[in-house]
């Protein structure tokens, strides 16, 4: 997902927990929200920083593949819509960085970890956006997959994270719909346009399935995160839901999901489908996807090129404050 | 001195005459920029007609460990709620 393979600290049985840890777990089990200054196990805090930080990084790195098409949108209206969508993603990044900061890191520290390659962002954004149809497929599939994961996270145990998710979910459905609207236009257009739409689906289908992360049936990390309610569903569960929701949408478009094994399974009430190539997934996470270097390079460049401007604004603010209260500036 | 922009808490008053409500936080070099950034981030869909910004460092919060002494005394004062009093139906709406 936007946060993939987040390591959490080892799972403890009830007997291994301290009295404080037991009381903490009881609060979570009762559905209480944990707020920033309250006591929390160090593992809970660290895992959340990794997860929310990775989620925030995904929002802002996710602006890059779509930003690629803003200047080349086919109409002024499409351009305005895409611009608004990409601007929303900047906001999502901000909400999440703010939530993460309540755990005792600063946004600049998180940025530095991202730029140093010490924190990850979702694998999906390391794929290129080659045609305008990709703007449709990204909104439809990538934001669609994100919604699948973010809706249950609105109920997560950490108050600031939950509030950020609620705010984000309000904005996501616009993202998915504008993407699907592009797909509808392309799929009902000329044969060449329909071909572009099919090609976008072909390229983005499996990377979208990878967003949910590998199967976590037996993962200790997942078990701990689930008992802390910072992970609400298993990866496989969400992936299945995503496929079940998306296949009829592809059928409506008259497009073919690029999976010959895709088949409705009456018994389970869902589709059987092929797993993505997980070796490709690990390879992309390790930094070897088609766009890893571009994406991180663009982030670092924006950060470094903007440094003089950020510093200039701070200098200006200090001077202005000194002018207002000369004594306070000493 | 740190060059990180300070954190601001953002309060927005919506269309319908309600109080300003805390909506989130953001970084900005000064109050003017905080208002502009808040406009861009928190009112993109007509959520507000007025913005307050306060430096997070200037907020004094009650501490979670004081929860008991601060808020528990209200628990036993049920008579502060109108439903504590049984008023006969004949009296009519009160
Ligand atoms: Fe987003
Ligand atoms: Fe989105």
Q: What is the DSSP string of A97-152?
A: HHHHHTTT--HHHHHHHHHTTSS---GGGGS---STHHHHHIIIIIHHHHHHHHHH
User: pLDDT tens for residues A176-204?
Assistant: 999 999 999 999 999 999 999 999 999 99
A94 touches chain B (CB under 8 A): yes
Q: Name the residue of chain A whose CA is nearest to B8's CA.
A: A98
Instruction: Determine how many CB atoms are found less than 10 A away from the CB of residue A314.
Output: 18
B50-55 β-sheet, strand order? B21-27, B7-13, B50-55
Predicted pLDDT at A13: 84
User: Cβ–Cβ of B24/A163 closer than 8 Å?
Assistant: yes
pTM: 0.93
Number of residues assigned to chain B: 94
Q: Mean pLDDT of all residues in chain B?
A: 93
Shortest CA gap B31–chain A (Å): 9
Give the helix ranges, DSSP H, for B1-94. Answer: 31-42, 67-71
Confidence band for A12, pLDDT divided at 50, 70 and 90:
confident
Q: Which of A23, A94, A311 to mutate to test the interface with B (most CBs of B within 10 A)?
A: A94
Tell the burial category of A110 from Cβ atoms under 10 Å away from its Cβ (0-12, 13-18, 19+). buried
Predicted pLDDT at A85: 97
Share of chain A above pLDDT 70, in %: 98
User: Cβ–Cβ of A310/B24 closer than 8 Å?
Assistant: no
| Total number of domains constituting chain B | 1
Q: What is the CATH number of the domain that holds B39?
A: 3.10.20.520
CA angle (A16, A22, A27) in 5-degree steps: 150
A16 touches chain B (CB under 8 A): no
Ligand with minimal distance to A60 CA: 1
Confidence band for A174, pLDDT divided at 50, 70 and 90:
very high
Confidence band for B65, pLDDT divided at 50, 70 and 90:
confident
Predicted pLDDT at A216: 85
**Chain A residues 104-123 within an 8 A CB cutoff of chain B:** 106-108
Predicted pLDDT at A218: 72
Tokens 């009762």 correspond to A30
In a domain, B87, yes or no: no
Confidence band for B22, pLDDT divided at 50, 70 and 90:
very high
CA angle (A272, A286, A215) in 5-degree steps: 25
Predicted pLDDT at A267: 96
DSSP code of A188? T
In a domain, B27, yes or no: yes
Residue B82, C-beta contacts closer than 8 angstroms, at least 6 positions apart: none
Predicted pLDDT at A133: 98
A83 touches chain B (CB under 8 A): no
Mean pLDDT of A128-134: 97
In a domain, B90, yes or no: no
Ligand with minimal distance to A2 CA: 1
Dist CA A257 CA A200 (whole Å):
11
Predicted pLDDT at B2: 67
In a domain, B91, yes or no: no
In a domain, B14, yes or no: yes
Q: For chains A and B, what is the number of CB pairs under 8 angstroms?
A: 47
B70 touches chain A (CB under 8 A): no
For residues A276 and A206, the answer to whether their CB atoms sit within 8 Å is yes
Q: Name the residue of chain A whose CA is nearest to B39's CA.
A: A91
Predicted pLDDT at A11: 77
User: pLDDT tens for residues A107-122?
Assistant: 999 999 999 999 999 9
Q: Mean pLDDT of all residues in chain A?
A: 94
The SS3 call for residue A247 is helix
Show the domain range for B12: 7-61
Predicted pLDDT at A254: 98
Instruction: Judge whether residue A45 has pLDDT over 60.
Output: yes
Share of chain A above pLDDT 90, in %: 90
Residue A204, C-beta contacts closer than 8 angstroms, at least 6 positions apart: A127, A134, A137, A138, A141, A142
Instruction: Judge whether residue A328 has pLDDT over 60.
Output: no
Torsion of CA A48, A50, A54, A57, to 10 degrees: 100
Structure tokens at B28: 């900005």
Shortest CA gap B79–chain A (Å): 27
Of B26, B30, B64, the CB nearest to A38: B64
In a domain, B36, yes or no: yes
Of A216-230, A296-310, B31-45, the least confident = A216-230
Predicted pLDDT at A327: 63
Residues of B in contact with A87 (CB under 8 A): 40, 44
In a domain, B41, yes or no: yes
Q: Name the residue of chain A whose CA is nearest to B29's CA.
A: A314
Instruction: Judge whether residue B75 has pLDDT over 80.
Output: yes
Instruction: Judge whether residue A73 has pLDDT over 90.
Output: yes
Dist CA A308 CA A305 (whole Å):
7
Instruction: Judge whether residue A245 has pLDDT over 70.
Output: yes
B61 touches chain A (CB under 8 A): yes
User: pLDDT tens for residues A209-220?
Assistant: 999 999 988 777
Structure tokens at A117: 């390659």
User: Cβ–Cβ of A98/B33 closer than 8 Å?
Assistant: no
More confident residue, A12 or A108: A108
In a domain, B85, yes or no: no
Confidence band for B17, pLDDT divided at 50, 70 and 90:
confident
Shortest CA gap A49–chain B (Å): 17
Q: Name the residue of chain A whose CA is nearest to B56's CA.
A: A102
Instruction: Judge whether residue A325 has pLDDT over 90.
Output: no
């Amino acid at each position: 997902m936007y946060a993939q393979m987040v390591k959490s600290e080892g799972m403890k049985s009830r007997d291994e927990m301290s009295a404080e840890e037991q009381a903490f777990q009881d609060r979570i089990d009762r559905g209480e929200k944990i707020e920033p200054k309250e006591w929390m196990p160090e593992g809970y805090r660290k895992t959340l920083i990794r997860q929310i930080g990775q989620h925030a990084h995904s929002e802002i790195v996710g602006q890059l593949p779509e930003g690629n098409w803003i200047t080349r949108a086919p109409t002024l209206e499409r351009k305005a819509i895409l611009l608004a969508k990409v601007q929303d993603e900047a906001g999502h990044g901000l909400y999440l960085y703010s939530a993460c900061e309540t755990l005792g890191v600063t946004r600049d520290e998180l940025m530095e970890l991202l730029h140093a390659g010490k924190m990850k962002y979702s694998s999906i954004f390391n794929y290129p956006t080659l045609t305008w149809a990709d703007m449709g497929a990204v909104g439809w599939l990538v934001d669609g997959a994100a919604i699948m994961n973010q809706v249950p996270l609105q109920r997560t145990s950490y108050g600031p994270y939950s509030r950020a998710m609620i705010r984000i979910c309000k904005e996501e459905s616009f993202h998915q719909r504008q993407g699907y609207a592009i797909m509808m236009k392309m799929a009902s257009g000329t044969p060449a346009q329909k071909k572009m739409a099919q090609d976008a689906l072909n390229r983005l289908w499996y990377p979208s399935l990878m967003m949910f992360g590998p199967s976590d049936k037996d993962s200790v990390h997942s078990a701990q995160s689930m008992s802390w309610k910072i992970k609400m569903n298993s990866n496989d569960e969400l992936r299945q839901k995503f496929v079940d929701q998306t296949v009829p949408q592809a059928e409506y478009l008259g497009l073919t999901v690029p999976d010959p094994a895709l088949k409705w399974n009456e018994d389970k009430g869902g589709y059987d489908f092929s797993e993505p190539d997980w070796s490709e997934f690990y390879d992309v996470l390790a930094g070897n996807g088609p766009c890893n270097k571009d994406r991180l390079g663009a982030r670092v460049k924006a950060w470094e090129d903007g440094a003089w401007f950020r510093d200039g604004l701070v200098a200006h603010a200090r001077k202005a404050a000194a002018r207002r209260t000369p004594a306070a500036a000493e | 001195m740190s060059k990180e922009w300070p954190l601001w808490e953002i309060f927005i008053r919506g269309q319908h005459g309600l109080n300003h409500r805390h909506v989130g936080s953001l970084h900005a070099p000064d109050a003017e920029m905080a208002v502009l950034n808040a406009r861009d981030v928190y009112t993109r869909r007509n959520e507000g007609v007025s913005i307050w910004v306060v430096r997070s460092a200037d907020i004094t919060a009650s501490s979670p460990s004081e929860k008991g002494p601060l808020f528990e005394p209200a628990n036993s004062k049920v008579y502060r709620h109108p439903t504590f009093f049984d008023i006969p139906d004949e009296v009519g709406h009160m």
